[in-house]
Amino acid sequence: MANFNIFDIAGSGMNAQSVRLNLVASNIANANTVSGSLDTVYKSRQPVFASELKNLLDRQKPGSGVNVLGVVESQEPSVAEYAPYHPLADKDGYIYKPNVNTIEEMANMMSASRSYQNNVEVLNTAKELILQTLKMGK
């Protein structure tokens, strides 16, 4: 337990999961945001995860953390709804709703929070082991 690499790994995971949780919050918060045109309607945002390649190639550090490569907007079509009396309706009488699937987002949220918990557990276990190692011979 010399270079505390495991803290970096678990920390990167917690960071990635919190980004994911933030995006879920943003998606659910905007699930009912209607818009008057296809260009301005809110689109579901999803994180892209990838493992850190530089660590994978380093033999002294066998573990690899997780990277958030970026955030992509979902390509699913937005929902057009005919509502001619809506104040935001366009000239054909349509309003546009975001392509957020609330059920999917809820499942995503559970998955993210469980993964976060997993990483916290790893961190706690590693901390315990290091503290015990520091007390070696006492």
Binding site for other proteins (CB under 8 A): 1-2, 5-6, 9-10, 12-13, 16-17, 20, 49-51, 55, 59-66, 111-112, 114-115, 118-119, 121-122, 125-126, 128-129, 132-133, 136-137
Shortest reach from residue 28's CB to other proteins, in Å = 19
Shortest distance (Å) from residue 78 CB to other proteins: 25
Q: How far is CA 62 from CA 5, 54, 55, 58, 59, in A?
A: 10, 10, 7, 7, 6
Vertex 84 angle, CA 81 and 88, to 5°: 80
Residue 98 in tokens? 């975001």
Of 100 and 112, CB closest to other proteins = 112
For other proteins, the closer CB: 35 or 101: 101
DSSP string, 6-62: HHHHHHHHHHHHHHHHHHHHHHHHTTT--BSSTTTS---EEEEEEE-HHHHH-TT--
From the CB of 103, what's the least distance to other proteins, in Å?
A: 18
Nearer to other proteins, 89 or 122 (CB): 122
CB of 136 to other proteins, least distance (A): 6
